[in-house]
Amino acid sequence: MSPVEVERKRELEGSAAEARARLAELGYRETSSFTEVDSYFSRPDVDFLETVECLRVRHRDGFAEITYKPASTADNHSHDGVITKRETNVLLQDTDQADHADLLLRSLGMVFLARVEKSRTSYRHPEHDDITLVLDEVAGTGVFLETEIISHDTDTAATQLRKVEDELGLSAYPVVSLPYRDLVLQRGAMADHH
């Protein structure tokens, strides 16, 4: 069985600087930092906002990909906001290909939904290299911290995820089950780049 990603996202109050300081205090080290731009699409006959499916073109410095995540169901989206989905990713040759992928999807009749721009910083703890913490500052939307664990055992990973959140003091912050795409649409931060 292929590994799956077990994750939960929380919206933070306060600044990203406060979160960075807390992560450093607990021994987490920054592993990457970049700005990502995601263009989200839906099918004309299926509303991906309703099914909570994801079809996106993502690009950042030197990297571009198309990603599909299946619909949310009771099997892959728990009542407490833990999401377990298998992603399909297609790596593009370079960032210039992201615009071509956007055009291809539009030409095939896919419906543009939203554009999400975020500053993303990833962190790892030296003692837990299977856990990634991702701090996102989403333009016009807010600051979020996502705990991600890649595992073959989803039950153990979900338990581990809760433990990490408790250690970080995240339990008091609201769980965000909506994707950034939906939050951007709700909060009016969407801007089509074409």
Domain limits for position 116 = 4-186
Domain count of the fold of the chain: 1
For residue 119, the model assigns a pLDDT of: 96
Say if 191 falls within a structural domain: no
| CA pair distance 62, 45, nearest whole angstrom | 33
Say if 193 falls within a structural domain: no
Per-residue pLDDT tens for 129-188? 889 999 999 999 999 999 999 888 888 888 899 999 998 889 889 999 888 999 999 987
pLDDT > 90: percent of the chain: 61
Q: Locate 81 and state its tokens.
A: 């906001």
Say if 192 falls within a structural domain: no
For residue 193, the model assigns a pLDDT of: 43
For residue 74, the model assigns a pLDDT of: 72
Taking the whole predicted model, whether its pTM rises above 0.95 is answered as no
Largest pairwise CA distance in the chain = 49
CATH of the domain at 93: 2.40.320.10
* pLDDT higher at 138 or 85: 138
Say if 132 falls within a structural domain: yes
Which residue type sits at 145?
L
Helix ranges (H only) for the chain are 16-25, 48-51, 96-107, 154-168, 180-186
Contact 39, 56 (CB under 8 A): yes
Q: What is the mean pLDDT of residues 68-77?
A: 80
Say if 65 falls within a structural domain: yes
| CA pair distance 80, 21, nearest whole angstrom | 27
* pLDDT higher at 27 or 2: 27
Give residues with Cβ within 8 angstroms of 33, minimum separation 6.
119, 120, 121, 122
pLDDT > 70: percent of the chain: 92
For residue 39, the model assigns a pLDDT of: 97
| CA pair distance 59, 45, nearest whole angstrom | 26
- Evaluate if residue 191 carries a pLDDT over 60: no
Say if 90 falls within a structural domain: yes
- Evaluate if residue 76 carries a pLDDT over 70: no
Q: What is the mean pLDDT of residues 39-55?
A: 94
For residue 194, the model assigns a pLDDT of: 43
